[in-house]
Amino acid sequence: MFTGIIEEVGTVTVMDARDAGSRLRIQCRTVMEDATPGCSIAVNGVCLTAVDLMPDSFAADLAPETLLRSNLGDLLPGSTVNLERPISAAGRLSGHIVQGHVDATGEFLSMEDLGSDNWWLKVRVPEQVEQLLVWKGSIAIDGISLTVASLEGDILGVTIVPHTIHNTTLGSRKPGGRVNIECDILAKYAAKLLGRLDTNRMPSVL
């Protein structure tokens, strides 16, 4: 389990296409401090299994479903990614409960300067995501725990504070790009219990 508090921005050094899926290598430092073979690391909000560990990098295998359902399939050498280690049992839940199971991708629309290095992010979300969002609720965008500030049809708005813009990949995003979306797991359970969510239409990424 993760919390959506990004620890480090890593850089993709290898994206090796295989017969089925791909192998990714990411250069980083902080998340390697206590990494062990087979541990989980969230990459842009997708929970991946770290293998072939080095002091300054790790590799991970991406299944075809992961490439299809997340923006990891868009990565190239030189791309930057948000990284987070799982929370420990004694850790603080500073963001919200993030599973690392991406529900869908949204379209990055714009980042408007509000002044004093605060920003207004707009993302277009698909229908299956829209029904699970509430004003002031939690959402993970590319693995970042954020608060829903506005909902206008299929357009989601969130405020980005200076720390977030400088310590995640959001500042380098371009309009039209895909961002990973994970809805609050509590919203998904509530919708399921109320019969409002068809889980067969929401394949999540592991």
Q: Is the pLDDT of residue 174 over 60?
A: yes
Same domain, yes or no, for 190 and 113?
yes
Same domain, yes or no, for 50 and 116?
no
Pick the catalytic residue from 57, 101, 105, 169: 101
Nearest to 6 by CA among 187, 177, 170: 170
CA distance 157 to 136: 11
Residues in the chain: 206
Give the mean pLDDT of 100-119: 96
Using DSSP's 3-state secondary structure scheme, residue 133 falls into coil
Nearest to 83 by CA among 69, 100, 95: 100
108: annotated active-site residue: no
- Neighbour-count burial of 19, counting CB atoms closer than 10 A to its CB (0-12 exposed, 13-18 middle, 19+ buried): exposed
Same domain, yes or no, for 179 and 134?
yes
63: annotated active-site residue: yes
Domain at 80, CATH number: 2.40.30.20
Pick the catalytic residue from 3, 28, 42, 47: 47
CA distance 1 to 37: 17
Q: Quick check: is 112 in a domain?
A: yes
Pick the catalytic residue from 30, 110, 147, 172: 147
Q: Quick check: is 28 in a domain?
A: yes
Give the mean pLDDT of 180-190: 91
Share of the chain above pLDDT 90, in %: 80
Share of the chain above pLDDT 70, in %: 95
Pick the catalytic residue from 39, 63, 149, 191: 63
pLDDT at position 7 is 97
Q: Quick check: is 141 in a domain?
A: yes
Same domain, yes or no, for 66 and 126?
no
Domain count, the chain: 2
Higher pLDDT, 149 or 186: 149
pLDDT at position 194 is 84
Q: Quick check: is 155 in a domain?
A: yes
CA quadruple 77, 59, 55, 164: dihedral positive or negative?
positive
Same domain, yes or no, for 66 and 119?
no
CA distance 199 to 128: 10
**pLDDT tens digits for range 134-145:** 999 999 999 999
Same domain, yes or no, for 114 and 64?
no
Q: Is the pLDDT of residue 45 over 80?
A: yes
Q: Quick check: is 93 in a domain?
A: no
Pick the catalytic residue from 2, 66, 138, 168: 2
The domain boundary, picked from 27, 56, 84, lies at 84
101: annotated active-site residue: yes
**188 band by pLDDT with thresholds 50, 70 and 90:** confident
Provide the domain limits for residue 61.
8-84
Same domain, yes or no, for 16 and 75?
yes
Using an 8 Å Cβ cutoff, are 28 and 57 in contact?
yes
